[in-house]
Amino acid sequence: PRVELAWAIKAHQHAQVYFNLISSVEPKFLKLTQVDDLIYREFREVFRELRVDLLNPEELKSEPAKAKWRPFCLRFEGLVEDFNFGTLLRLDSRQEYSEENTIFG
C-alpha cells in the first residue's frame, strides 16, 4: 500500500506538469519523449483493440491485462527514464479529471 501511495503521489505531480504542457501546446506538436512514435506504434501492435477514449478498468488491471502490460512497459527500459511509473488516466476522455473519472495505472 505504501508503494502504491508513493506512486500515486508521483503520478499526481507528473500529471500536473503534463497537464500544463498539453494545455499550452497544440497536441500534434507535443513530444513527451524522444521515442513517442515508437511507443505509440508498439502500443497499437500489442493493444490493437484497446479503446483509449473510453477505458475499461478491467483492460488495465485484470491479471490477463497485467500479463500484457508488464512486457510492454519493459520494452522501454533504458529508453524512457520513468518507463515503469504509474500514471493517472481519465476513464472517459470526454470528461474532465475527477476522482470518479480517474484511474491509477
CATH number at residue 89: 1.10.3560.10
Partner residues linked to 102 by β-bridges: 90
Rounded to two decimals, the pTM is 0.71
Residue 103's CB is within 10 A of a number of other CB atoms, namely 14
Mean pLDDT, 10 residues at a time, the chain of 105 residues: 82 80 80 90 94 92 92 93 82 89 86
Report the number of distinct structural domains present in the chain: 1
- Count how many Cα atoms sit within 13 Å of the Cα of residue 91 in the half-sphere of its side chain: 13
Measure the CA–CA gap between 39 and 41, rounded to whole angstroms. Answer: 6
Structural domain containing residue 22 = 1-104
